Amino acid sequence: MSRQTTIAAGAMTEGGAEPILSVRDLTKHFPIKKGIFGRVGGAVRAVDGVSFDVAAGETLAVVGESGCGKSTTGRAILRLIEPTSGSVRFNGQDVLALGAGELRALRRQLQIVFQDPFSSLNPRMSIGAIVREGLTIHGLAEGAAADARVKQLLEEVGLRPEYASRYPHEFSGGQRQRVGIARALSVEPKFIVCDEPVSALDVSVQAQVVNLLQDLQRDRGLSYLFIAHDLSIVEHIADRVAVMYLGHIVELAPVQAMYSRPIMPYTQALLSAVPAPEPGVKRERILLAGDVPSPANPPSGCVFHPRCQHPARDAACAAIVPPLEEKAPGHWAACIKQPPSVVSWEAQRAAGGTNPPDFYLPVSALHRSADGAPRAHAFTPPR
């Protein structure tokens, strides 16, 4: 069952700002082939109806556990894999309708930085050549001008310009990730999809790369789609956060609201599971039972219902697909048991519901106490 497009363009940015990227009902189903004739016997619903907006200069983080579809979402936006359906608009352009030439032109503005700094750089190319490739392909600079630009880019990401003639194996993980960032920056993009850019790095190096990404954003007004599983990094870098579970966005909110007053029970459990570097402080922890179900055979209704800790969980949760709805200004969540919801109690009862919706917030399990209503987030899009 896929949801109708009900969310207007721009409705999902902070304060209704004009989005640079607008994604609606994006799906990616990977067919499961059976037998020697490759008969399609089902589909892995990796991304199953995802909608969000990113404003210019904003960082939207997408978090979730392995297999939730966050990386697939990032790649589908860039059309590194072709989405099954949905729409992606970048700067008003319909990305999914573009031909090969137009797509290449688009990728000047829309770049990606990959997780693994070891496999994402060609070992046979010097890092100068790696950074220069984009300049050549897009016809931005040639000859001495290109050399100068490469050196400038390397300096900008904190590498020495004379490193241009060296090869990737001569560099550490953090340095390689800087090369990956310089390569993305070479074509002067407006938007970068960062796919777990610091997950493979040690803590101290991770901090260097995070600071670099923040500096570049400030200086160039970049927008980021920051895909990550580390919730502490995300709180540090993001303006808004989208939580994914089994191919769905289950919650989307400004970072402070998300961390102080998570609405969706899955987000609550996720936040409670983060180990806190405060020895002696014992927090309650929401321990989820079992594992994430297979995306080839997702649960009916709310995909999280078999593991959900909400006290009002009932048969209606297994029957009704919860819409991603705005529960508080700018705070979207998909849960029919957390009021307000467009799915009325009457409708829930008709679907077998026995427990009326009742707001649930396990404060003692979260890292900081809830401070009442979500605060207005101090995000101002650059002019």
Q: Residue numbers of the site for other proteins (CB under 8 A)?
A: 65-66, 155, 158-161, 172-175, 177-178, 202-211, 214, 229, 231-233, 235-236, 259, 269-280, 285, 287-288, 290-292, 367-368
Cβ proximity to other proteins: between 250 and 343 the closer is 250
According to DSSP, the β-strands at 248-254 and 331-333 are antiparallel
Cβ proximity to other proteins: between 87 and 214 the closer is 214
Report the nearest approach of other proteins to the CB of residue 379 (Å): 14
Report the nearest approach of other proteins to the CB of residue 238 (Å): 11
Cβ proximity to other proteins: between 174 and 330 the closer is 174
Cβ proximity to other proteins: between 140 and 286 the closer is 286
Report the nearest approach of other proteins to the CB of residue 161 (Å): 8
Report the nearest approach of other proteins to the CB of residue 293 (Å): 10
Cβ proximity to other proteins: between 58 and 235 the closer is 235
Report the nearest approach of other proteins to the CB of residue 272 (Å): 8
Report the nearest approach of other proteins to the CB of residue 346 (Å): 34
Report the nearest approach of other proteins to the CB of residue 162 (Å): 10
Cβ proximity to other proteins: between 119 and 204 the closer is 204
Cβ proximity to other proteins: between 191 and 379 the closer is 379
